[in-house]
């Protein structure tokens, strides 16, 4: 399976270079576990979901610790039929759990993971859409994910085409990871389109 993300960071300040470089420094602990490639538009990260979501979380949390308004957009994908298999992307949850258990059990497992997520002390907002591709009955999985989100403790509200989360970066990104792992076919193509924001003047 191929699992990866294209991530772009947008600091709303003239000092954007410093904030972007600081955020990229937060990826250092993950470079042995992920393939990371940065260009002038985005950063590609390829690898297993455990380090992948931790890296995305830490990139944004480091940037959001600055008082400037910062946003991040990411496209996250697993199982894309157009990409070659990559052994670094192996995931035990997908290999042994996803869709071998009932929807209710997967929802409970996802909620438990969010409850034990680390608290980073950085408050963020995030909205995302989950796309379960090429599967009959895909809306059952999406509705099941929405029910999990509403019980996650990070749910803020539903919006057209997406769901909005709010809270500490640790639980919020764990909610995102669980949505990605626990819903949709284990061997199928599942994607997430995500935008995160911190320190917005609108919120103040």
CA pair distance 151, 11, nearest whole angstrom:
31
**pLDDT per residue over 23-63, tens digit each?**
999 999 999 999 999 999 999 999 999 999 999 999 999 99
Model confidence at 203, pLDDT cuts 50, 70, 90, reads low
* pLDDT > 70: percent of the chain: 95
Q: For position 139, what pLDDT does the model report?
A: 85
Q: For position 204, what pLDDT does the model report?
A: 56
Q: For position 84, what pLDDT does the model report?
A: 85
The pTM of this model reads 0.94
The residue that leads in pLDDT, 98 or 140, is 140
In total, the chain counts a number of residues equal to 204
Q: For position 175, what pLDDT does the model report?
A: 98
The residue that leads in pLDDT, 27 or 184, is 27
**pLDDT per residue over 109-155, tens digit each?**
999 999 999 999 999 999 999 999 876 678 888 999 999 999 999 99
- Tell me the backbone φ, ψ of residue 18, rounded to 5 degrees: -60, -45
Strand-pair partners of 198: 70
CA 79, 10, 61 angle in degrees (round to 5)?
75
CA pair distance 126, 124, nearest whole angstrom:
7
Mean pLDDT of the chain: 92
Domains of the chain: 3-198 (3.30.70.930)
Exposure class string for 37-49: b at 16+ Cβ within 10 A, else e: eeeeebbebbbbb
What DSSP letter does each residue of 91-149 carry, written as one string?
A: -HHHHHTTTTS-HHHHHHHHHHHHHTPPP-S-EEEEEEEEEEES-TTHHHHHHHHHHHH
CB atoms within 10 A of CB 63: 27
């Amino acid at each position: 399976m191929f699992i990866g993300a294209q991530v772009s960071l947008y600091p709303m300040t003239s000092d954007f270079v410093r904030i972007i470089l600081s955020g990229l420094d937060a990826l250092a602990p993950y470079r042995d576990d992920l393939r990371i490639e940065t260009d002038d538009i985005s950063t590609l990260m390829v690898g297993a979901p455990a380090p992948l979501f931790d890296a995305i979380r830490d990139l944004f949390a480091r940037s959001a610790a600055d008082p400037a308004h910062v946003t991040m957009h990411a496209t996250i994908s697993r199982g894309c039929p157009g990409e070659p298999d990559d052994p670094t992307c192996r995931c035990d949850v997908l290999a042994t759990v996803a869709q071998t258990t009932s929807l209710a059990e997967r929802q409970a497992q996802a909620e438990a993971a969010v409850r034990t997520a680390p608290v980073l002390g950085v408050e963020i907002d995030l909205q995302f859409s989950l796309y379960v591709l090429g599967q009959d009955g895909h809306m059952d999985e999406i509705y099941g994910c929405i029910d999990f989100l509403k019980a996650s403790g990070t749910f803020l509200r539903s919006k057209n085409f997406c769901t909005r989360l709010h809270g500490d970066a640790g639980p919020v990104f764990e909610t995102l990871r669980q949505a990605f792992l626990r819903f949709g076919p284990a061997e199928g193509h599942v994607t997430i389109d995500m935008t995160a924001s911190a320190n917005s003047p609108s919120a103040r």
